[in-house]
Amino acid sequence: MTAVRSAALTAAGRPIAGSRRLSFSWVGLVPFFAYVGLFLFLPTVIIIVGSLTTKEGALTASNFTEIAQGYVVKAFVASITISAASAVVGAVAGALLAYAVAAGNPRGILRRTVTSGSGVLAQFGGVTLAFAFVATIGTTGFVYLFLKDRGIDIYANGVWIYDLAGLTLIYTYFQIPLMLIVFLPAVDGIRPQWREATESLGGGSWHYWRYVAGPLLAPSFLGCTLLLFANAFSAYATAAALITGGGVIIPLVISNLLTSETGRAQPGLAKALAIGMIVVVLLVMSLYTLPQRRTTRWLR
Amino acid sequence: MNRTRRLKLQAFRAVVFIVLGAFFLVPIAAMLEFSTRGREINERTLNAWGSIVRTPDLTDAITASLEIAAITCIAMLVLLLPTMVWVRLRFPGLNRVVEFICLLPLTVPAIALVVGMVPIYRWLSINLSSSILTLSFAYLILVLPYSYRSLDAGLAAIDLKTLSEAARSLGAGWFTVMWRVVVPNMSSALLNASLLVVALVLGEYTFANLLAYENLQVAIYYVSLVSAGTSIAVAVASLLFAFALLMILSFVGRPPSPIAKAEDADISVGQTVGLSGGLIGRSR
């Protein structure tokens, strides 16, 4: 109805000049599309074209076959491992937090603090986050020294903070808040009446979680875990600040290939890897949207 | 709910809040502790904080980052807001296209996008300018999704068509419509979008580092190689500044993007989550 009314208004507003003015109104869109074309689509085209050509400009598939090199494959495996590990840890801890928050007063100060804080912490990353952990459990870090004074040496088997294990731990710092943000709406959708219904039918806690709440939350939980995976998979700055030198994970390999000063820069391979990353993220994100639909009907 | 179960639930909540609270607060406290360390054990000093202003690299980078944030913010408002208004009024059919384009940067990891930007910036620095302020071009792409979401929420809350027709029928030009009708009516959305831009730009590392510009985060990294205390002091300062901005944001009206949308169970979670997913990828 609104559309009809506004269409009528428009028609009444400029009866004659309308058609002529309309023919020039596309000019208003030029700045936006020109800018997006230059700084979003052109880079994409550069990546695609560059991944398919050699440095001299000849067509080739060698950039993609070079992905099969040992160190690249190793970095891909490492990237996927830490993304998966931090996603699972973050998802479980974040889900527990979401449940603890949802069980409280919906308008309480605690809930408001946790959700606002999570919104902030989910964006926290990069150099600052890496330093926060170095100051905490680095070899001169506060917590490390505190524990060591009490006879607990967390690095008894070697310093792991600059390693994949350390990176996984640090990633959970932004994964847990993100999980809270995306998973809390699903937990809020669970109604206390369903628990009462389970009990009136003679079911206990186990039955409730196994047959009612669990199946309802599972798709959303899986989806959110996939999102967390994509999130960790794309992360670069934290790892770059923490790990110097070797390309341990794919984003670091890409940056090494781009900036290498010893003449070993391989822009073609960097572009092929960039495409690899985009494909993985797109794949994970589309998997993510699938399971959501099943439960939205109930979780309103 | 019976008594024992309520007790168990409360105990569970207490444990979760204490353990995770410690996990999130201890690293920040540890940074403060580290940045106030003196030469002697148990000596406390603010030397590291004082040396922030005595490090020209840092002050330059802070100035540059603030300038980039301001430019990106203004450019975002000047480019995006009129386009969104124009599309809603004249090209409603293009609305989905613009939305799709604006959300697109979320699915491309920053590290992948920067690979395609390197040649463009090489060209820019030869033919136009090699100033660090040109980073604003790239940052505008990074902030598009968040700005779009904030402005979209603001525009949805006003009856744009009626307002602009009314102003036009009273003889207002399009500039007057934008400046005196649309802008005053969505001030909180504009504030949201702007604060988010500032927070994102101040925390950005990936683009600056790979395009070889020394913005705040890159400078923090370089300073850390010389003086850990100073770099951690700046890191804490920038972090607290961003926290303050984002906290203001979450108390001024509804927070934009992920949270605001996620609270409506009906909204396609794909979009929301896509959004927050990108949110993260950008700043790290």
Inspect the interface and report whether the beta carbons of A231 and B209 lie closer than 8 Å.
no
Nearest CB neighbour to A125, from listed B80, B251, B280 = B280
Is residue B254 pLDDT above 60, yes or no?
no
**Which amino acid is located at A211 in the chain?**
Y
- pLDDT value of residue B169: 92
- Rounded to an integer, the average pLDDT of A78-104 is 93
Which residues from A are below 8 Å from B121, CB to CB? none
Nearest CB neighbour to B27, from listed A117, A136, A185 = A136
- Burial classification of residue B77, based on how many CB atoms lie within 10 Å of its CB (0-12 exposed, 13-18 middle, 19 or more buried): middle
CB A279 within 8 A of CB A273: no
A106-162: pLDDT as tens digits: 878 888 888 888 877 887 778 889 989 988 988 888 888 888 888 888 887 778 888
Which residues from A are below 8 Å from B255, CB to CB? 116, 119
Q: How confident is the model at residue B255 (pLDDT cuts 50, 70, 90)?
A: very low
Fold of A69-131+175-296: MetI-like fold (1.10.3720)
Cβ–Cβ contact A203 with B under 8 A: no
**Which amino acid is located at B238 in the chain?**
S
Kindly calculate the radius of gyration of chain A based on its CA atoms and give it in whole angstroms: 26
pLDDT above 70 covers a percentage of chain B that reads 87
A31-53: pLDDT as tens digits: 999 999 999 999 999 999 988 88
Which residues from B are below 8 Å from A116, CB to CB? 247, 250-251, 255
For chain A, domain boundaries: 69-131+175-296
B44 in helix, strand or coil?
A: strand
Which residues from B are below 8 Å from A140, CB to CB? 34
First to last CA, chain A: 27
For chain B, domain boundaries: 36-283
Inspect the interface and report whether the beta carbons of A39 and B137 lie closer than 8 Å.
yes
Nearest CB neighbour to A292, from listed B243, B270, B279 = B270
Q: How confident is the model at residue A220 (pLDDT cuts 50, 70, 90)?
A: confident
Distance (Å) of CA B223 to CA A101, A241, B49, B52, B231: 40, 12, 13, 10, 6
Q: What is the DSSP letter of B179?
A: I
Which residues from B are below 8 Å from A238, CB to CB? 284
CATH for B36-283, options being 1.20.58.1610, 3.30.43.10, 1.20.1050.10, 1.10.3720.10: 1.10.3720.10
- pLDDT value of residue B263: 36
- pLDDT value of residue B253: 53
B168-226: pLDDT as tens digits: 999 888 889 888 889 888 888 888 888 888 888 988 999 999 998 999 999 988 888 88
- C-alpha span between A227 and B98 (Å, rounded): 24
Q: How confident is the model at residue B16 (pLDDT cuts 50, 70, 90)?
A: very high
Residue of B146, B239, B273 to mutate, interface with A, max A Cβ within 10 Å: B273
Q: Cα dihedral sign for B61, B133, B258, B277?
A: negative
A247-281: pLDDT as tens digits: 788 999 888 888 766 556 778 888 999 999 999 98
B203 in helix, strand or coil?
A: coil
Nearest CB neighbour to A278, from listed B108, B221, B283 = B108
How many pairs of residues across A and B have Cβ atoms under 8 Å apart? 297
pLDDT above 70 covers a percentage of chain A that reads 86
Inspect the interface and report whether the beta carbons of B120 and A39 lie closer than 8 Å.
yes
Cβ–Cβ contact A206 with B under 8 A: no
- Rounded to an integer, the average pLDDT of A2-18 is 46
CA-nearest of B107, B65, B54 to B242 is B65
Report which of residues A124 and B82 the model is more confident about.
B82
Q: E strand or H helix at B43, and its extent?
A: none
CA-nearest of B280, B223, B219 to B48 is B223
Pick from A8-12, A119-123, B34-38, B128-132: least confident: A8-12
Nearest CB neighbour to A227, from listed B35, B204, B273 = B273
Is residue A231 pLDDT above 70, yes or no?
yes
Pick from A226-230, A232-236, B77-81, B237-241: least confident: B237-241
Distance (Å) of CA B156 to CA A146, A215, B88, B152, B258: 53, 35, 10, 6, 17
- pLDDT value of residue B230: 87
Cβ–Cβ contact A204 with B under 8 A: no
- C-alpha span between A105 and A240 (Å, rounded): 41
pLDDT above 90 covers a percentage of chain B that reads 31
CA-nearest of B157, B153, B179 to B249 is B153
Q: Can you say how many angstroms the Cα of residue A141 is from the centroid of all Cα atoms in its chain?
A: 28
Is residue B18 pLDDT above 90, yes or no?
yes
Cβ–Cβ contact A258 with B under 8 A: yes
- C-alpha span between B269 and B271 (Å, rounded): 5
Q: Which of residues 87-116 of B touch A (CB under 8 A)?
A: 87, 90-91, 94, 98, 101, 104-105, 107-116
- C-alpha span between A127 and B204 (Å, rounded): 9
Helix ranges (DSSP H) in B182-268: 183-185, 187-202, 206-210, 216-226, 228-251, 257-262
CA-nearest of B74, B147, B76 to B106 is B147
Q: Which of residues 195-254 of B touch A (CB under 8 A)?
A: 199-200, 203-206, 209-210, 212, 217, 220-221, 224, 231-232, 235-236, 238-239, 242-243, 246-247, 250-251
CA-nearest of B125, B81, B151, B241 to A32 is B81
Q: What are phi and psi of B37, to 5 degrees?
A: -70, 145
Q: What is the mean pLDDT of chain A?
A: 82
- pLDDT value of residue A263: 57
Q: ipTM score here? A: 0.80
Q: Which of residues 1-60 of B touch A (CB under 8 A)?
A: 1, 5, 9, 12-13, 16-17, 20, 23-24, 26-31, 33-35
Which residues from B are below 8 Å from A141, CB to CB? 30, 34
Q: How many residues does chain A have?
A: 300
Q: How confident is the model at residue B265 (pLDDT cuts 50, 70, 90)?
A: very low
Q: How confident is the model at residue B264 (pLDDT cuts 50, 70, 90)?
A: very low
Residue of chain A with shortest Cα separation from B160: A6
Contacts of B69 (CB under 8 A, 6+ apart): B197, B198, B201, B202
- pLDDT value of residue A229: 92
Nearest CB neighbour to A300, from listed B162, B231, B265 = B265
A164-191: pLDDT as tens digits: 888 999 999 999 999 998 898 888 888 8
Cβ–Cβ contact A136 with B under 8 A: yes
CB B133 within 8 A of CB B215: no
Which residues from A are below 8 Å from B8, CB to CB? none
Residue of chain B with shortest Cα separation from A119: B259
Q: Cα dihedral sign for B284, A172, B250, B220?
A: negative
Report which of residues A292 and B45 the model is more confident about.
B45
B257: left (phi over 0), alpha (psi -120 to 50) or beta: left
Cβ–Cβ contact A240 with B under 8 A: yes
